[in-house]
Amino acid sequence: MKRIITAIDIGSSKICTIIAAIDEGQETPQVIGVSVMPSRGIKKGVIINIDDAVNSIGECLEAAEKMAGLTVSSAVISINGKHITSTNNRGVVAVSHDEITEDDISRAIENARTVAIPSSREIIHVLKREYIVDAQGGIVDPLGMSGDRLEVDTHIISATTTAVQNLVKTVNQLALQIDDIVFAGFASSEAVLTDTEKELGVTMLDIGAGTTDVCVYVEDAISYSGCVPIGGDHITSDLAIGFMISIEDARRLKEKIGMILEQNERVESDKNISAKPAFMRRDKEEFSKEDKEDKEEDEIDISSLNIPDKPTISKSLYDKIVSTRVEEIFDIVSEQVKQAGFDIRQPAGIVLTGGTANLVGITKLAKDYFGVPARVGTPSGLTGFVEEISGPAYATAYGLILRGLDLGMEEIGGEKFEGRGVVSIISRIGSFIKKLIP
């Protein structure tokens, strides 16, 4: 019997559903169903219209189910938004026997969970950072060790109760059980960071359409998590204003600029360009010609995009618009991490992921701004139908599957696909009610 894991990444610009199967004894889940669709009713990571969100999530889920040939009953889902906050807390217990037991570990973690948070917030993660036994730190697994005092240092991520409730309400309308709610940034970090990077210390920035998530790892321990309500959509808006084009045209420009630059470079390489120094030219006409050539070199031919009255744009202006906004994002997340008492500049550098990580030149911008190594993180850890979801924009969805794998959810074979219309949903709700009746 196969074990089925379903992940739904609920983003500001898109919904991504992945259905993966794993046979007993296997370690790598195989993607058997995948769907990516535009999201509706979601802004900056938060649900603002439940009906629209239900429809867009439902359509995406049904398409993935149809591809997989089965209907799923539960899913791991993402949560995001500026309401996400984190803190580190320590739980301490006296060891009840000569050796540390699972009960001791559970009590220590539960003790750490009692951190004071407002009633308007809900804890979504209590993540282990390290164990300490009789003042000896750096312990990964204390089970079976001798000691009198057990401490656990944890990283606690919380969200507003309202955001969690609206998310649950939305998913429940699809007759889906929720296996886990996972902070999108944490899911992405699980999909793109290496063990070595975590051990050295690393910062992950997941720059999506409406938000930027940040996770900082210090000496193999997640130490800070957060989210700011700024992302790729702000860059799109800036381009629309700067070049006086529509938002949709600006989005296409942002997405296609890399390919256009490559095409332009190939054309330029075929031209016969004089290498004669300007100071050796004899008359003003030659200098004027050089100025004209410099101006032409700054122009990017974007006629292939068919943007009205905009056959070319200035490359220097494009670079200025993009770099200014990206650096603002870096400014905001750096200050947020600093206020939490951590340094965003870690030895292993910065790992960029999310859809905006595809932006031309963003790796160099990160290197120059932070002064540490930077790379684009692409997700890994799945096989099967992964071609469509191999880029950084799908890191969160990948991470949700990996999180579901860690949860050790019960084995299910999946039901034959019947669609997700009203009749299907009602029948599934009826089946759920029958299970509750003795």
- Provide the mean pLDDT of the chain: 87
Rounded Cα–Cα distance for residues 331 and 239 (Å): 20
Among 102-111, 326-335, 408-417, name the most confident range: 326-335
- Average pLDDT (277-283) is 51
Q: Is pLDDT of 157 > 80?
A: yes
Q: Is residue 273 part of a domain?
A: no
Q: Is residue 92 part of a domain?
A: yes
Q: Is residue 352 part of a domain?
A: no
Q: Is residue 143 part of a domain?
A: yes
Q: Is residue 100 part of a domain?
A: yes
CATH code (residue 116):
3.30.1490.110
DSSP secondary structure letters along 183-204: EHHHHHHHHH--HHHHHH-EEE
Structural domain span for residue 148: 85-162
- Average pLDDT (185-214) is 97
Angle at 41 between CA 40 and CA 46, to 5 degrees: 120
Q: Residue 292's pLDDT is what?
A: 52
Among 21-30, 176-185, 408-417, name the most confident range: 176-185
Question: In total, how many domains does the chain have?
Answer: 1
Q: Residue 293's pLDDT is what?
A: 53
170 or 429, greater pLDDT: 170
Q: Backbone dihedral region of 270: left (phi > 0), alpha (psi from -120 to 50 degrees) or beta? A: alpha
CB 163 within 8 A of CB 81: yes
Residues above pLDDT 90, as percent of the chain: 72
- Measure the N-to-C terminal CA separation of the chain; round to a whole number of Å: 27
Enumerate residues 6+ apart whose C-beta is below 8 A from 298. 314, 315, 316
Q: Is residue 12 part of a domain?
A: no
- Average pLDDT (333-357) is 97
Q: Is residue 210 part of a domain?
A: no
Q: Residue 265's pLDDT is what?
A: 67
365 or 430, greater pLDDT: 365
Residues above pLDDT 70, as percent of the chain: 85
Q: Is residue 131 part of a domain?
A: yes
Rounded Cα–Cα distance for residues 80 and 210 (Å): 10
The secondary structure of residue 260, as a DSSP letter, is H
Q: Is pLDDT of 122 > 50?
A: yes
Q: Is pLDDT of 279 > 70?
A: no
Enumerate residues 6+ apart whose C-beta is below 8 A from 433. none
CB 94 within 8 A of CB 149: yes
Q: Residue 267's pLDDT is what?
A: 55
Q: Is pLDDT of 103 > 50?
A: yes
DSSP E strands, 95-220: 121-133, 136-139, 149-160, 177-183, 202-207, 212-218
